[in-house]
């Protein structure tokens, strides 16, 4: 395998990782929901209470995407297949 082949393979794997990360963010409700989740985790971990209580609260924030009390984001549904002629 040549160096060019290795570089192409690395580029492909890198793009796959980027695509997977984008899918995960989209499934969780987009970047705004991700920012909200990060804020909830930060608030939970820096809040009052025992380490166990704070970790439990942070885990709950991660398990529930978006703002507290918000419905879970709907997964994007693929468009219907084109009509057959």
What pLDDT does residue 66 have? Answer: 74
Q: Who has greater pLDDT, 85 or 51?
A: 51
Task: Say yes or no to pLDDT of 73 above 60.
Answer: no
Q: Is 55 a domain residue?
A: yes
**45 lies in which domain range?**
30-67
Whether 17 is in a domain gets the answer no
Q: Specify if 21 maps to a domain.
A: no
25 located within any domain: no
Per the structure, how many domains does the chain have? 1
Give domain status of residue 53, yes or no. yes
Structural tokens at position 62: 């991660």
Q: What is the pLDDT of residues 19-71, one digit of tens each?
A: 999 999 998 889 998 899 999 999 999 999 999 999 999 999 888 887 666 55
Supply the pLDDT for residue 1: 81
Of the candidates 60, 63, 75, the residue with the CA atom closest to the CA atom of residue 30: 75
**Would you state the pLDDT for residue 78?**
57
Does residue 49 lie in a domain region?
A: yes
CA distance 39 to 28: 15
Is position 80 within any domain?
A: no
State the Cα–Cα distance between residues 67 and 57, nearest whole angstrom: 14
């Amino acid at each position: 395998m040549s160096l060019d082949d290795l570089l192409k393979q690395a580029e492909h794997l890198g793009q796959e990782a980027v695509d997977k990360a984008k899918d995960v963010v989209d499934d969780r409700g987009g970047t705004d929901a991700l920012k909200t989740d990060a804020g909830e985790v930060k608030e939970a971990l820096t809040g009052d209470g025992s380490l166990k209580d704070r970790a439990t609260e942070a885990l709950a924030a991660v398990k529930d995407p978006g703002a507290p009390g918000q419905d879970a984001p709907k997964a994007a549904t693929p468009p219907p297949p084109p009509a057959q002629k």
